[in-house]
Chain A
Amino acid sequence: MIQFFGIPVDTLTTVLLVITAVIVAGVLMLALSNVLFFKIGVRNIFRRRTQMALITFALMLSTMLLSCILAVGDVMTATVQSVAVYNWGNIDELIEGGRGPLGTYPEQIYYRLVEQSRDASTITSVGAALQEDNLLVADQTSRQVRSTVTALAVLPDSERGFGGMQDVSTKQYLSIASLQPDQVYLNQTIAQLLNAKPGDVLYLYSPRWPGRRYTMRVAAIIDNGGLVGDNPYIVSQLQTFQGIEKVAGQINRVFIANRGGGGVNGVDLSDQVTDQLHQWLPRHRHIHVIQVKAQGVQASLKAQDIFSRIFSLFSLFALAIGLLLIFLIFVLLAAERRGEMGMARAIGMQRYHLVLMYLFEGSVYDLFASLIGLLFGLGISVLLVNFLEPILARFNFPLKFTLQPHSLIVAYCLGVIFTFCSVALSCWLVSRMTVVEAMRDLPEPNRSMRLFGGLRRKLNNVFAILMGSALVAYWALPIDVLARLGLPHFRAGIEVFFVAGMMMVLGAAWVLISNAGLFVSPLLALSARLPGLFYTLAKLASVYPLHRRFRTGLNLVMFSLVVFAMTVMSVITNAMQNTYVDINTQTGGYDIQATPYFKSLPDLHASLAEHGIDPNAFSAIGMRSTTVVGVIQLSAPSPRWYVYPVQIINGGFLQGYGLHLVGKASGFDSDSSIWQALQSHPDYALIDSSALSYSQGATDKSAIYDPTVPQGSRIPPGFDPNVTFAMSGVSPGEKVFPAVPVWVADLQGRKAIKLTIIGVVDNSDSAHFGLYIPHSRYSSAALGAGGDSVTAATLGAGGDLTTNADQSYYFKVAPGQDKRALALQLGSAFLDYGLETTVLEDVIWQKRGPRIFLSDVLLGVVGMTLLLGVAALAVTGTRAVIERRQQIGMLRALGCSRRLIQSAFLLESFLVGLVGSILGMVLGLILARNIFAVNFFEQYQTGLTFSIPWQQLALIVCVSVLASLLGAVLPAWQAGRVTPIEALRYS
């Protein structure tokens, strides 16, 4: 991790180390100068072994949680950074610029750099190439087509310093020099896409050579990496493309590899290398250095923005649970020792001595349990990484478990420091006792209470209700509502939600505990009407919580916090899983996309059979054409014409395949009703979710301040934001909205048509921009072809837009059919049309693999927190029974049966667990709802939508309550078996 709660890890580590060292040194010095009290304190550890085991276990859990969280954070950061730079292979810096359409410059510059860098300790290799982008490659042998391929014509021997080029089948290293002028290597990515093999014949096309094509033969398939990353690349001799482009002696890329050995290792040297290169490069050639790896690392920080923020929130909750557990354990321990402390004070010990004894005992637990917890935490993290490895394998990404030493130190030190503080605080609280009352284990008398009696108590209760409710109400309101009401609110990052959560839990627990009598009275009243011992049981179960409100309150907060954190985490991870991991939702049900590059396809159903493909192999086929239109919304505040891409759809698209709806016009109660309406009413249309966003000068509308939110990604590619249509009156994330009439005019056409927008299409992947119009409407001459008086360029949309419809076909494969085989068949059948076929699932894995991985990491964190949280609750339940053996003896002496006592303990645990769980769930849902209500995720265009995973929540509540019951069962059973005399003697 680079930062931890906004503080650089380096700084934090130093500070925490210093504090820990001071604590350890202080305790050591105190132990040396108070050997007797040290011995007495440490003796307690061995005297009460059950207690020791529980305390150690609790401390272990806390440190385990901390170290797990930090280790997972390291894995996340390492993954995202590595993914971001993986595509650059071993290249750290790139020199480009030059002149002409290819940006070329003389080869001599490269040779000069080689000479000058020979003695540079920061540079290990320099390479040169001529790169040409955006080629269309048709494999005549496999009969497949692929667009946007990059050709890299490499200067022979340049490849050696960058890891070489390894044949994927023979694993032998190949050289550029051995390539013939008509031979190329293919990297693994393009080879897979083309289904190519060595010996295949390729045709190369480029918009730069209209009417020409070049024939090449595949010499070998090489590994991704080295000079080529995982984008589709063909590699040739430099002279081959110098000849094609007629730029003899020219190159347009010089590659630099820094010392460090690939990956992100050389990034630290980037600035130094860049300065050096700038001194060596000729200034008049307009060439410059790009720190590709360093920029990749920077981009990765943005790429993991939303995940790191969500992870921060989860970490804060996990940290709070861990630290509260430590505090709770020591408060209970101190409370349990109250009688013993009273005795010690009675025989002449000072309060200071009591604190010292307790501190020594706590420190021993602390130093050892934290260490064991740390190791367990690392173990769990390793398991998590192993569990997630298959996901990484799906997008060909190698990952190793990486852990920064900083994280270990931070986890350990945080555990030690907080335990120390908890021990000191709880001991100080308990040591402020009246000796006689402490020996009799009675509550401390409240003198002010005596003076004013019931009035004071009532006032306290009312005050607690008012303040607690106000606390809950304030933090439960979404931040934008607070702003609208004119109430002060915090402007901060995602941390504000953590604060909100904590405040709500504490406020609600305050109200409940201060007025526990009122909340328990209905239960007592109900049980009084039941036959048998129900009333006695209920009374017994409620006596302790009413009597020891602080301890019960802490238990309640613990339960609420665990369930609360789990609820928030579940809602967020559920949204992420739905959005990123559910491939079917993202592809909209289609399996294959096909785009003809040479000419439009004929009638598909007829021609499929002609080409030997069974049309029944597809359960749906849709067509989508893209063009640009002018749009005006008369209901907007200042209507005027804007431009926007339009997707003309038919076939499967009108049956609901291919598009995921995130909003519907009021009156449509289901997605299917939208699709039916589109089929029967050609005047209806859909629009993508980006058109609802904050464009046209609007600024960040979220109430959550976040300066690093990426901007400008909501505009269709190539469009000028100033003239791009944005729909007014419907907010991002709004699920139901009034239908929006718009007028649309073809930029070449002669007639405007009125459409009514009835649905919003999810465009969180920025691949679904557009106004979606049924093909029947488009082809009804309303938006027919016409003159050229109005063009996209005239409205400033940019010269690279085309007004010719750009067609794509989408196929949903019938059950039992192989989508990859069918994609190859389609490509082969329509090779003459230049049909490029893509299996959508593969593309989604390629594009969203890191997001899917991170979603699953967060899901893993949730599972891990649940397990540890549940263990914490079980420990809490056990402690609550163990400390009351003396009371049990008293009850037994008064005639209560074993069974009654056991039942009372279980009922008490159940009640505290149930109330805490319900409270946590309700508050968690309110907070999760607020996070979505203020469009926090929309800032990042995540496409996440709020939905409640009821099944998961039910599981969380059940597991939590069960854990508390299980934790209480064994000690309750043991307690019931204790004889009265034995129990009364216990201390």
Chain B
Amino acid sequence: MNGNEGPDASHQKNMARFCSFLFLTLCLGACSLWPGGQNISGQWHVQQAPKARITYVAIGASDTYGTGTNDPDEQNWPVDMTGMLGSGSRLVNLGIPGIEVHDALNVELPVAIDAHPDLVTIWLAVDDLISNVPISQYSQDMDLLLSRLQAAAPHALILVANVPNLVLLPRFQATDTHSLQAGISSYNTVIASIMERHHVVLVDLYQQSQVLANHPEYISSDGFHLNARGYAQLAMIFYLTLQKHRL
């Protein structure tokens, strides 16, 4: 009963070491499965946005949001445009249905600045026009929006779209087209002058409006917004304009 000596004992010792190692490994493995304890270091971690080659921010209203399609999350023109920008592009879609420039100044602009954009598209005119926002008010708000955006994101490339020819849309065909046409002209004139003043790129949707007349299938069932196919075309217009002016 004095224990074994010799080769058997040596073998048992080696095996004991091996088993100890194995047990330790298993224990460590089990420990690694354990939930992490609470951080008591006081270190502050804030969730960061994923890194992207181009951060693209879309400021806009219902069209930017994707109203008129079956899946506004995925079927909107900024998503299509992001696809055209290539891999590594990241979209921040700030479109809110019904928003006007005055509200966008306080609701969308701060978020846009916080996103540190490389590219910004702004399409905010149609709701103001329909709501009969005075042109002077619109001009002032749009001017302010661009000033603040350029001050906060000086390196961002900014594209601003004007008002397309709404008269061609089914929803407005029963309204006073003359006064609507006049309103569109006024808005577009103001937009053009602001763009010139701020040296930003104008996306002339009015010039491209004939496409709507030629392709009624691009318009959604509400007779006002575009559908998925229409938004794809719209994205192409924005993208071609960007290509044309890209430095």
Contact = CB atoms under 8 A, between A and B. Distances in A.
Given A476-B29, A729-B47, A926-B30, A743 B35 contact: no
Interface string A449-488: 0000010001001000100010011001110000000000
A975 B93 CA distance: 83
B98 A790 contact: yes
Given A634-B111, A750-B107, A669 B40 contact: yes
Interface string A515-553: 101110110110010000001100100000000000000
A528 B92 CA distance: 73
B106 interface: yes
A640 B94 contact: yes
Contact of B103 (A472, A477, A790): A790
Contacts of B43: 666-667
Contacts of A722: 72-73
B110 A667 contact: no
A738 interface: yes
Most buried by B among A472, A478, A639, A668: A639
Contact of A473 (B26, B38, B99): B26
Interface stretch (A376-384, A685-693, A751-759): A751-759
B247 interface: no
Contacts of A930: 33
Interface of A: 454, 458, 461, 465, 469, 472-473, 476-478, 515, 517-519, 521-522, 524-525, 528, 535-536, 539, 630, 632, 634-635, 637-641, 664-670, 696, 722, 729, 735-741, 743, 745, 749-752, 754, 756, 787, 789-791, 794-795, 922, 926, 929-930, 933, 946
Contacts of A736: 36, 38-39
B22 A469 contact: yes
Given A790-B98, A794-B98, A929 B35 contact: yes
Interface stretch (B10-18, B173-181, B216-224): B10-18
B-side interface size class: 35 or more
B114 A517 contact: no
B103 A476 contact: no
Contacts of A750: 102-103, 106-107
Nearest to A640: B93
A735 B108 CA distance: 32
A362 to B, nearest CB: 38
21 contacts: A465-B18, A465-B19, A473-B29, A519-B16, A519-B19, A521-B13, A635-B50, A637-B50, A638-B93, A641-B65, A666-B44, A666-B45, A738-B46, A739-B44, A739-B45, A741-B47, A743-B114, A749-B106, A751-B110, A790-B97, A794-B96
Most buried by A among B30, B48, B107, B131: B107
Contacts of B13: 521
Interface string B112-129: 001100000000000100
B6 interface: no
Contact of B114 (A458, A634, A640, A794): A634
B94 A641 contact: yes
Contacts of B2: 528
Given A476-B30, A665-B45, A666-B39, 18 more contacts: A469-B22, A473-B26, A518-B16, A521-B13, A635-B50, A638-B91, A639-B91, A640-B73, A667-B39, A670-B38, A696-B73, A735-B36, A736-B36, A789-B98, A790-B96, A795-B97, A930-B33, A933-B33
Contacts of B33: 476-478, 926, 929-930, 933
B49 interface: yes
Given A473-B26, A521-B16, A539 B110 contact: no
A634 B49 contact: yes
Contacts of B22: 465, 469
Contacts of B12: 517-518, 521
Contact of B111 (A515, A752, A787): A752
Contacts of B38: 664, 669-670, 735-736
Contacts of A519: 16, 19
A979 to B, nearest CB: 24
Most buried by A among B22, B35, B36, B114: B35
B169 to A, nearest CB: 19
* Chain A contact residues: helix, strand, loop or mixed: mixed
A820 B144 CA distance: 58
A534 to B, nearest CB: 12
A740 B49 CA distance: 10
B42 interface: yes
A465 B13 CA distance: 16
Contacts of B19: 465, 515, 518-519
Nearest to A642: B73
Given A469-B22, A639-B92, A922-B30, A632 B111 contact: yes
A454 B4 CA distance: 15
Given A515-B19, A669-B42, A790-B99, A524 B3 contact: yes
Nearest to A786: B103
Q: 10 shortest A-B CB distances, which residue pairs?
A: A738-B45, A751-B106, A640-B93, A667-B44, A669-B40, A794-B97, A666-B39, A738-B47, A635-B47, A666-B45
A669 B39 contact: yes
B144 to A, nearest CB: 13
A790 B127 CA distance: 12
Nearest to A641: B96
Contact of B42 (A465, A637, A667): A667
A915 B222 CA distance: 74
A790 B11 CA distance: 79
A641 B108 CA distance: 10
Contacts of B97: 790, 794-795
Given A521-B12, A739-B46, A752 B1 contact: no
Contacts of B47: 635, 729, 737-741
Interface string B40-69: 111111111110000000000010010000
A5 B73 CA distance: 43
A666 B40 CA distance: 8
A751 B39 contact: no
A740 B46 CA distance: 6
Nearest to A722: B73
A255 B106 CA distance: 56
B143 interface: no
A667 B45 contact: yes
A708 to B, nearest CB: 28
A789 B1 contact: no
B1 to A, nearest CB: 5
Contacts of A525: 3
Contacts of B62: 794
